Amino acid sequence: MMSVSALLFGMAITTMWRLVAGAKEIPASRFAKPPLGEQAIAGLETALGLGCMGMSEFYGISDNKENIKVLNRALELGCNFWDTADMYGVGMNEVLLSNVLRTRRNDIFLATKFANVRGNDGAFLGVNGKPEYVKRACDMSLMRLGVDVIDLYYQHRVDPTVPIEDTWGAMKELVQAGKVRYLGISEAGPKTIRRAHAVHPITAGQYEYSLWTRDVEDAVIPTCRELGIGFVPYSPLGRGFLTGQYKEWGGALGRKRGEGGARGGRGGAAAISSPGDRRGNFPRFEGDNLDTNAKWLEKIEKKPKLTTVLPRNSRSRGFWLKVKTCCRFPARARFTVWKRISPR
């Protein structure tokens, strides 16, 4: 029996689609309290999480003044589930959140992550799940965030060189020490989930999940459901692609617009890339791949639609209804987007 009321994943997708597409205002009641596994989660008041990664890196040049406006607007609307990681902006994303946390800590359910190691220059140095690193990473995150406890602490990626039991043994000790309240894991396979869960209950698993990323439906989601683990999808709009704003850059049009530029010859990727936006390096956003994906999206958009935004076809509806135990994180949202949500 669920400890809190269930909210369908389809509602999440519909909500975020409307936000990005600029549809009519959405009442703040859409940010209803979500389930997160079968555990009652103290302090979690929203069904729509705010993914903060893009405020510091990966999706273009950021503006911290604007980012702080987004953070405060999210709280005004009751969206208090914030997600960051120590690797985002090489720690600077956590520092950004500290600007709001110092006065609103009790209003925020705070999630951060460890394991992806980066150098001071931003270089990716690998994954570390060693117990001593787990504890050191947590202390550093607490310092950057300016808080005494982290609500939800994820293992961001699994270190294949360290037994998961050793990593989770150290994470369990963080809970016992009062530095962390709940534990989560990201992008782990079903067997690893079970092994970690045997050491300490997993509160949430975070995975990419959208209309074009559905591999988790085969085994990960059933495992989470069986064990009562909350499922937290990230990039539910396919890193922005499912909004339709990039499909015009596919094929000949994208190649034509990409010609002659600094990255000429890369077609759509050249056209959609801006300084600091790494999506241009993703295969799905490159040249012919982008063209093929754009045609796929157009087919979906031509299907009969619901009164909201997404298609009515049975395939999509099946996708909507498959996960009842979840929250979701949109990619970076600008202040102008958040202003479209009615505070009613």
Residue written as token pair 């093929």:
292
Which residues does the annotation mark as catalytic? Answer: 88
Give the Cα separation of 13 and 1 in Å (integer).
25
Contact at 8 Å (CB) between 88 and 57?
A: yes
- Residue in 274, 276, 275, 267 with CA at minimum distance from that of residue 248: 267
Ordered DSSP codes for 34-90: PP-TTS--TT---SB-EE-GGGTSSBS---HHHHHHHHHHHHHTT--EEE--TTGGG
At residue 33, the 3 state secondary structure works out as coil
End-to-end CA distance of the chain: 31
Query: CA 122, CA 9: separation in Å to the nearest integer?
Result: 34
